[in-house]
Amino acid sequence: MKSQVFFTSQITPDSLIKLYEALGIKPTGKVGVKVSTGEQGAKGYLKADLISPLVTQLHGTILECNTAYPGSRNFTPDHLATAKSHGFDFAEIDIMDADGDLKIPAPEGARHLQYDLIGSHFANYDSFLNLAHGKGHMMGGFGANLKNQSIGIASRNGKAYIHSCGQTEDPDACWKAKYAQIDFIESMAEAAKAVADYCASNQKPILYITVMNALSTSCDCDANQDDPVMPDLGIIGSLDPVANDQAFLDLIWKFAEENPTHSGVKKLQERITSREGEKITAYAASLGLGSTAYALISLD
């Protein structure tokens, strides 16, 4: 049976809530909402006026972890200040690795990671909304739900471990590690599956939504993030992160097919394929995280 991916072309607070409600599961208990609050200088991160009505409805806490690279989110005090400056103080903000790591098992069949290191506060939540901003990425090709669940939930040391494909937890040493590009793509998938397995074993449901706006070739973690290169596509949501990421890729390729002279979408496609980013969904599916086969259900 194909996974269901719900879609709306409208990007408004009301359409975001409508898509969330279509998923059919209401998070209970203490709800964590994983978003990227954006590096200082970035422009594409999800804005508070779009997401705050849904997060408030869920009584959600904004979840983040510190970065492995130097910048405005490298350490907790600066990270909190940056998140607040970007408007995320409409809710409680939890930098999940402020008090260290939680080591969780790598998934069965993992080729690169022996474990995953996530922010220790992740254990304090009962259910999660993985609320991603779809965009390109300098290292991973693109970022959506799988990246948000791997790099995004990893602690600072965990990010180093994923970026080095399991070679080091040292944020300074990880950038010197040698590996094939596909190893990094697969390491992200393994970390995302590790989080999903942890949540499943602890009865902590996860819902997945990707907002496909401000589609640049670079990530919200880039202080010099470039401008959008193509029009907004809408919002997609699923209970299957693999299907949701696959739908995001497919919608980019569909736009390119329908607009063959559009130079911007070609830049985004080149960013994705040059980093082998499109291969993350098939590998994640092989790990049992979800399916690349899906039915796209329009809510428009």
Average pLDDT estimate for 170-196: 97
Percent of the chain at pLDDT above 70? 100
pLDDT in the model for residue 283: 98
> Is pLDDT above 90 for 294?
yes
- If pLDDT is split at 50, 70 and 90, which confidence band does 224 have? confident
The domain spans of the chain are: 3-298
Model confidence pLDDT, tens digit, residues 229-276: 999 999 999 999 999 999 999 999 999 999 999 999 999 999 999 999
> Is pLDDT above 90 for 223?
no
pLDDT in the model for residue 177: 95
Percent of the chain at pLDDT above 90? 94
Model confidence pLDDT, tens digit, residues 140-179: 999 999 999 999 999 999 999 999 999 999 999 999 999 9
Model confidence pLDDT, tens digit, residues 120-138: 999 999 999 999 999 999 9
The architecture CATH gives domain 3-298: 3-Layer(aba) Sandwich (3.40)
Give the whole-angstrom CA distance, residue 188 versus residue 147: 7
In the 8-state DSSP scheme, what is residue 260? T
Mean pLDDT over the full length of the chain: 97
Model confidence pLDDT, tens digit, residues 91-120: 999 999 999 999 999 999 999 999 999 999
pLDDT in the model for residue 68: 86
* Owner of token pair 């999660």: 128
Residue 51: enclosing H or E segment and its boundaries?
helix 48-57
Reported pTM: 0.98
Give the whole-angstrom CA distance, residue 81 versus residue 225: 19
- The pair of structure tokens assigned to 105 is 């098992």
Three-state DSSP class for residue 289: coil
Q: Which residues of 4-21 are buried (b: 16+ CB within 10 A; e: fewer)?
A: bbbbbeebeeebbebbbe
Angle of helix 48-57 versus helix 13-22 axis, rounded to 10: 40
Give the whole-angstrom CA distance, residue 267 versus residue 233: 16
> Is pLDDT above 90 for 81?
yes
> Is pLDDT above 90 for 69?
no
> Is pLDDT above 90 for 199?
yes
Give the whole-angstrom CA distance, residue 170 versus residue 293: 37
pLDDT in the model for residue 220: 87
